[in-house]
Amino acid sequence: AQKITQTQPGMFVQEKEAVTLDCTYDTSDPSYGLFWYKQPSSGEMIFLIYQGSYDQQNATEGRYSLNFQKARKSANLVISASQLGDSAMYFCAMRRDSYSGGGADGLTFGKGTHLIIQP
């Protein structure tokens, strides 16, 4: 079984500062993917970034980067130069990669971190 733990229920950060959102995971699958999603107050889940378990380099997408430490089973999201529009819930998720066999299945989500950017 897979498990995602996000230990920060809420965070307050000053605008333009960098912020790190923590995520640890547990799985016995040999191959897996890690995802971060943003959920604004409207409710829609917005995909931010993906890291494959066999990727040698940390993923980056614009202001988002994923600090992947496989031995520690952590996949922290780093947002550089935070903006007021970054205020939202952030969810870490993982899924068993289809290379492990069995095809596509669902994501396992953490409980999220509520990030508030202050001016």
Asked whether position 98 contacts another protein by CB under 8 A, the answer is yes
Q: How many CA atoms lie within 13 A of 72 on its CB side?
A: 10
What does the buried/exposed string (b/e) look like for 34-64 if buried means 16 or more CB atoms within 10 Å of the residue's CB?
Answer: bbbbbeeeeeeeeebbebebeeeeebeeeeb
Asked whether position 117 contacts another protein by CB under 8 A, the answer is no
Q: Which is nearer to another protein, 57 or 119 (CB)?
A: 57
CA quadruple 82, 86, 92, 93: dihedral, nearest 10: -130
Q: How many residues bind another protein (CB under 8 A)?
A: 28
- Rounded to whole angstroms, what are the CA distances from 16 to 25, 73, 80? 29, 28, 8
Q: Which is nearer to another protein, 19 or 38 (CB)?
A: 38
Asked whether position 50 contacts another protein by CB under 8 A, the answer is yes
Asked whether position 45 contacts another protein by CB under 8 A, the answer is yes
Contact 48, 37 (CB under 8 A): yes
In the list 28, 44, 85, 119, the residue contacting another protein (rule: CB under 8 A) is 44
Asked whether position 23 contacts another protein by CB under 8 A, the answer is no
Asked whether position 70 contacts another protein by CB under 8 A, the answer is no
Footprint on this chain of another protein (rule: CB under 8 A): 4, 33, 35, 37, 42-47, 50, 52, 91, 93, 95, 97-99, 103-112
